[in-house]
Amino acid sequence: MKPLKEMTKEELLAMKESLSAEYKEAQSKGLKLDMSRGKPGKAQLDLSLPLLEALSAKDEMMASNGMDVRNYGVLDGIPEAKLLMAEMMDTTPEHIVVFGNASLNIMYDTVARGMITGFLGETPWCKLDKVKFLCPVPGYDRHFAITEHFGIEMINIPLNSDGPDMDMVEEYVNNDPAVKGIWCVPKYANPTGISYSDEVVKRFANLKPAAKDFRIFWDNAYCIHHLYENQQDEILDIISECEKAGNPDMVFEFGSTSKVSFPGAGIAAFASSVANIEDMKKSMTVQTIGHDKMNQLRHVKFFKNRAGLDAHMMKHAALMRPKFEAVLKVLNDELGELEIGTWIVPRGGYFISFNAMEGCAKAIVQKCKEAGVVMTGAGATYPYKNDPMDSNIRIAPSFPTPEEMAEAAKLFVLCVKLVSVEKLLEA
Amino acid sequence: MKPLKEMTKEELLAMKESLSAEYKEAQSKGLKLDMSRGKPGKAQLDLSLPLLEALSAKDEMMASNGMDVRNYGVLDGIPEAKLLMAEMMDTTPEHIVVFGNASLNIMYDTVARGMITGFLGETPWCKLDKVKFLCPVPGYDRHFAITEHFGIEMINIPLNSDGPDMDMVEEYVNNDPAVKGIWCVPKYANPTGISYSDEVVKRFANLKPAAKDFRIFWDNAYCIHHLYENQQDEILDIISECEKAGNPDMVFEFGSTSKVSFPGAGIAAFASSVANIEDMKKSMTVQTIGHDKMNQLRHVKFFKNRAGLDAHMMKHAALMRPKFEAVLKVLNDELGELEIGTWIVPRGGYFISFNAMEGCAKAIVQKCKEAGVVMTGAGATYPYKNDPMDSNIRIAPSFPTPEEMAEAAKLFVLCVKLVSVEKLLEA
């Protein structure tokens, strides 16, 4: 096969005819597959079942600080859970607050706190005429949903293979005091799978924000979520880099065990400077008496430490790898020479990001849907669900089985080809 | 003994001398007791230990709607948990959203939602010059902390033995559009232990608020927390009363199993009209992917239904009763005839509310502290920690043992007597 753009109209028409026939046949199969969300598969959930036995009625119900984990109290997490989450997030326990079952909730509450009380004595954002966040794109739809919910203006920043376009980030952050935050997924980014280079992390740490209360929202969701034992991305610890750069309070980091233990019943953590944590606790103490310490202790007893987490993540990797490889093989085999799409081969995380020809993403997702394969909505990876190029599609291979995944990927590439041919014929 | 007020100066002086000697002796005992918070005792926590075995690795991890409770999803709670919480709160599942481990968190988030997005299309409160809440007093310090945190003006409303002064409530709510809410603990109120009469509940349901977005914050924290098997308070279901009165959207109800299962690891619920729940979900879906469904299923498997909850609460009652009775006996024996304090004998809940002579509460709490017994801070039961009479003291008998409780109560009455005598000598 040659690149589609080099084909004659006749070749394209012939191709359209045979692809349409293939698509009709695929439709008749009655597929029902979901590649829309980064949801662990059943076999992954089974890996953590022993967690349920890690805290039993026969155990001492005491945290290492002597607190009964069943009772009220301990706003910021039991010490051993702080240590575990610190090890997971490559920081130290004094930087950690352990929360409930979802880091998304911490992010929402943190933006809400910016709006309502402000950070470290600065004016609450709700009192300002304009608040802006930078959004590296493509990115995570639930981040953008939070900032949109609070009426914060979102500005697209291109995400390169080593991180966001830092010239543009510096230009905005260092000059515009209305820019109060940036959403980052620094490792195995959602959806592109790239990790930030050391240079990018250092440039982040050395920002000179026009706004004193500018914060980097560092969603380290995939910090230990490697696909391979020997090819692993590593990123610098943003908290210590910010300290070194004299910006200790500039970052809010988020992490969770949602894709380590159970998505519905894990533990989540916030990491930041001691000053930010003290500031946050002033609101937290009004909001809650404390999070689920029994689940914190259960996690510590099961995972023990970073080595325990890493070993567990390799079991996840063994289940995830075949699914990723199934998709990548189909993409490579079927689209490799056609030049109608690009994708990055990730070494971790939960997604493969596919860039179709401009103006094709919505039509591809729609065609997939009509043949029984649900993808993340086209545009979802951009603020306001608006992908200006209508090009990016997020593929989430984790939930189906590898066999289902190969089947779904075949339908996907068929739709990519069909929509691309139609697009070229229109032109 | 005769009432203190009828004593001569000489009699008071003699009394002061002997009480001071007694106090000095008590101080030398080195007591270290905490009656400050409504914290269940260890034996109560042990009652729910089998909960830990209720969901084991061998179980099906499916909710009745076919959802895997370990994975993402189900914003409003699994159906069987909705049913359990509905039964506990005397309502039906369509009125229920199940949350995480703390109803306080739901209350905070609900007030935050009023501030940020507003209710059912009304103007967010943060855009208004003035927002006011009515606060029946004495009341729950953490309620007042939430409204104070958001800069909401709090207005004291006297709490009578059958509920808040409804003439005053109607006067404010029906005429002042800045009045957006009222904090209520309708059953076994914190701290007085009284329950709202049917007439009071009906008057609540029939309010004609000047503000469309006025809401009753109905914290039904002690709905099944009786002290006796045969003497139990019952209140009308506010949700159906509001429906009948044509005010279906006027109430937000809150409940939890914090003092049923584990204070740190229970499940909490929000109850309201379907319209309010749909409105709330628009924010919830941005804030979280869902709460801990494994803990929801664990609770359902352990308690099963309302009968299971009620039977369990009688075990709590058996542990709580002797503590309450120990305090009440000391109050009665030592203060019965002196006319220097009043208290209500509660039939449930977690507190005994003591009213000292005007201007004595702070001094009594301070004296207790100096002899090793920590009480809830005087004034804590009023907005802004300001008890205008300096009279109310909340006694929380749950945490110490009955023997410790009797000892602490003896010190307490000694301090009450001593401070009262000093007060009368000043006059």
Contact yes or no for A265 and B70 at CB 8 A: yes
CA distance A64 to A415: 56
Give me the pLDDT at residue B149, please: 97
> What is each CA distance from B409 to B34, B43, B179, B326, B374, in whole angstroms?
11, 20, 40, 8, 11
Kindly state the tokens that stand for A177. Answer: 């005091």
Q: Mutate which of B39, B55, B101 to disrupt the A interface (most A C-beta within 10 Å)?
A: B101
CA distance B62 to chain A (A): 12
- pLDDT over 80 (residue A270): yes
Contact yes or no for A263 and B56 at CB 8 A: no
Contact yes or no for A265 and B289 at CB 8 A: no
Pairing between strand A132-137 and A153-160? parallel
Per-residue pLDDT of chain B (427 residues; tens, 9 = 90+): 799 999 999 999 999 999 999 999 999 999 999 888 899 999 999 999 999 999 998 898 999 999 999 999 999 999 999 999 999 999 999 999 999 999 999 999 999 999 999 999 999 999 999 999 999 999 999 999 999 999 999 999 999 999 999 999 999 999 999 999 999 999 999 999 999 999 999 999 999 999 999 999 999 999 999 999 999 999 999 999 999 999 999 999 999 999 999 999 999 999 999 999 999 999 999 999 999 999 999 999 999 999 999 999 999 999 999 999 999 999 999 998 999 999 999 999 999 999 999 999 999 999 999 999 999 999 999 999 999 999 999 999 999 998 899 899 999 999 999 999 999 999 8
The residue with tokens 């409940």 is: B255
The CA-based angle B252-B258-B261, given to 5 degrees, is 135
Contact yes or no for A68 and B45 at CB 8 A: yes
Give me the pLDDT at residue A331, please: 97
Give me the pLDDT at residue A34, please: 87
Residue B392 DSSP label: E
Residues of A in contact with B290 (CB under 8 A): 102, 264
CA distance A234 to chain B (A): 27
Do residues A267 and A254 touch, judged by C-beta distance below 8 A? no
Cis-peptide into B209, omega within 30 deg? no
CA distance A268 to chain B (A): 12
Contact yes or no for A262 and B70 at CB 8 A: yes
Nearest by CB to B40, from A56, A71, A293: name it: A71
Residues 6+ apart with CB under 8 A from A405: A35, A323, A326, A327, A397
**pLDDT tens digits for range A107-132:** 999 999 999 999 999 999 999 999 99
Contact yes or no for B265 and A292 at CB 8 A: yes
- Residue B118, classed as helix, strand or coil, is coil
Residues of B in contact with A260 (CB under 8 A): none
Residues of A in contact with B295 (CB under 8 A): 265, 292, 295
**pLDDT tens digits for range B254-292:** 999 999 999 999 999 999 999 999 999 999 999 999 999
Continuous segment of H or E residues that includes residue B365? helix B361-370
**pLDDT tens digits for range A273-319:** 999 999 999 999 999 999 999 999 999 999 999 999 999 999 999 99
Quick one: closest CA in A to B267, which residue?
A292
Give me the pLDDT at residue A239, please: 98
Residues of B in contact with A108 (CB under 8 A): 286-288
Residues of A in contact with B71 (CB under 8 A): 39-40, 45, 262-264
| Amino acid type, B254 | F
Quick one: closest CA in B to A75, which residue?
B264
Average model confidence (pLDDT) for chain A? 96
Give me the pLDDT at residue B6, please: 95
Q: Closest Cα partner for B269 from B93, B75, B98, B91?
A: B98
pLDDT-derived band at A266, boundaries 50, 70, 90: very high
Give me the pLDDT at residue A153, please: 98
Do residues B70 and A262 touch, judged by C-beta distance below 8 A? yes
CA distance B190 to B195: 10
- pLDDT over 80 (residue A86): yes
Q: Closest Cα partner for A264 from B264, B299, B106, B61?
A: B61
Contact yes or no for A72 and B39 at CB 8 A: yes
Percent of chain A with pLDDT over 90: 96
**Complex ipTM:** 0.96
- What is the widest separation between alpha-carbon atoms in chain A? 78
Q: Mutate which of A72, A76, A117 to disrupt the B interface (most B C-beta within 10 Å)?
A: A72
- Residue B305, classed as helix, strand or coil, is coil
CA distance B49 to chain A (A): 5
Give me the pLDDT at residue A420, please: 98
Quick one: closest CA in A to B283, which residue?
A149
- Residue B286, classed as helix, strand or coil, is helix
> What is each CA distance from A158 to A25, A92, A163, A164, B314, in whole angstroms?
39, 32, 9, 6, 62
Q: Mutate which of B34, B47, B52 to disrupt the A interface (most A C-beta within 10 Å)?
A: B52
Do residues B213 and B122 touch, judged by C-beta distance below 8 A? yes
pLDDT-derived band at A227, boundaries 50, 70, 90: very high
Contact yes or no for A265 and B72 at CB 8 A: no
Contact yes or no for B70 and A146 at CB 8 A: no
Indicate if the alpha-carbon torsion angle A83, A85, A90, A95 is positive or negative.
Answer: negative
pTM for this prediction: 0.96
CA distance A321 to chain B (A): 20
